[in-house]
Amino acid sequence: MLRIEKINKKIGKFTLNNIDFTVDKGDYFVLIGESGAGKSILLEVITGLLIPDSGKIFLNGKDQQNTPVQNRKIGIVYQKPTLFPHMSVFENISYPLKIKKLSKNEIIKQVNQLAEDTEISHLLIRNIANLSGGEAQRVTIARTLATKPDILLLDEPLSFLDVQLKRGMTSLLRKINQSGQTIIHVTHDYDEAVSLTNKIAIIENGTIIQTGTPQEVFQNPKSIFVANFIGIRNFFKGRLLKAKDQSESKVFEINGISIFVLSEEDENVLGNITITSESIIISEEKIESSAINNFFGTIKEIYETKLGFEVLVDIGIDISVQISRQSLDHLKLKINKEIWISFKASSVSFIKN
């Protein structure tokens, strides 16, 4: 339905670089990136509010280059609700319908249906000033849907809502998508993304670095942003080599450190490894076990987390280890203490570049 082909756009020192992806009819497509990655700029290029320096946008097979913004059949909802403060909820939703010069009866019929779909029928006579943030965002969505967009663009629509309101809004967005509405949703929130999407694109510094299903992207992260995004703290770039004394293993070389890894990839290949923090054992002495990765290091930092504590160990590279409070107290861990860490080769995942 929507095809983005090699879009480039320079704004000051920032550039969107060869943006290329496809959104099919009925998709819930989530665009993930940090602040300043170019997410909102890309949305404005799609709507036509910004003209790309090069590249093409096709909607239902039609080149959108010469299509005015108001005729693109693309609706956008921003982070904060954008409503007419002097109008009631009913008047806000009906505004685009009046512009289409629909009959009074048809306007009433469509507004009532949209209000029912977005669960705000009880608010129709309410003044905008008396709405909560979640209610106002629902009204904004209803008004945008009144334009019957082929694509609904959502720019961080949940970022200003509390946890309870987010749950309700997430349920609403899922229902809207399941009714057939194609959605492109911009966020930096992992939980938000995985609860909604069937396709994901990761954008970093104006470049799409990875696309696919949530399972494809999150099981095979190709950047430190994606790895950190899903809670993997140990992500390293380097080269895969054949192990000298371990026939079933290869070694991953990074900064002079050799990490054993099980991989069927050829040797002398560039790529990334990830090591889950929970799979690493920390001890005061080197332990005898099946773990062939053993390193002596120094504790640099200790952070409290939801699951216990994250211990950052310098072994020549910084390795994050997740432990419980009980282990922290038992081992008497503190900054600058020298310790051993160990983990199995099977705990290391290699991703070819």
**Residue 250 belongs to domain with CATH number:** 2.40.50.100
Amino acid found at 77: V
Asked whether residue 119 carries a pLDDT value surpassing 90, the answer given is yes
- Answer yes or no: do 243 and 208 share one domain: no
For residue 207, give every residue at least 6 positions away whose Cβ sits within 8 Å of its Cβ, in sequence order, or none.
Answer: 16, 17, 18, 19
- Answer yes or no: do 287 and 304 share one domain: yes
Q: Average pLDDT in the 156-171 region?
A: 86
Percent of the chain with pLDDT over 90: 73
Range of the domain at 256: 234-352
Q: Average pLDDT in the 86-102 region?
A: 95
Tokens of 24: 């099919």
**Range in 58-62, 150-154, 164-168, 316-320 with the lowest mean pLDDT:** 164-168
Asked whether residue 220 carries a pLDDT value surpassing 90, the answer given is no
Asked whether residue 235 carries a pLDDT value surpassing 90, the answer given is yes
Alpha-carbon distance of 214 to 245, in angstroms, equals: 37
Q: What is the pLDDT of residue 261?
A: 93
- The pTM is what? 0.81
Alpha-carbon distance of 347 to 353, in angstroms, equals: 19
Q: Average pLDDT in the 179-205 region?
A: 91
Q: DSSP string covering 77-118, please?
A: E-SS----TTSBHHHHHHHHHHHTT--HHHHHHHHHHHHHHT
**Residue 205 belongs to domain with CATH number:** 3.40.50.300
**First CA to last CA across the chain, in angstroms?**
30
Q: What is the pLDDT of residue 247?
A: 59
Q: Is 314 exposed, middle or buried (0-12, 13-18, 19+ CB in 10 A)?
A: middle
Among residues 202, 229, 256, which one ends one of the domains?
229
- Answer yes or no: do 13 and 118 share one domain: yes
- Answer yes or no: do 43 and 174 share one domain: yes
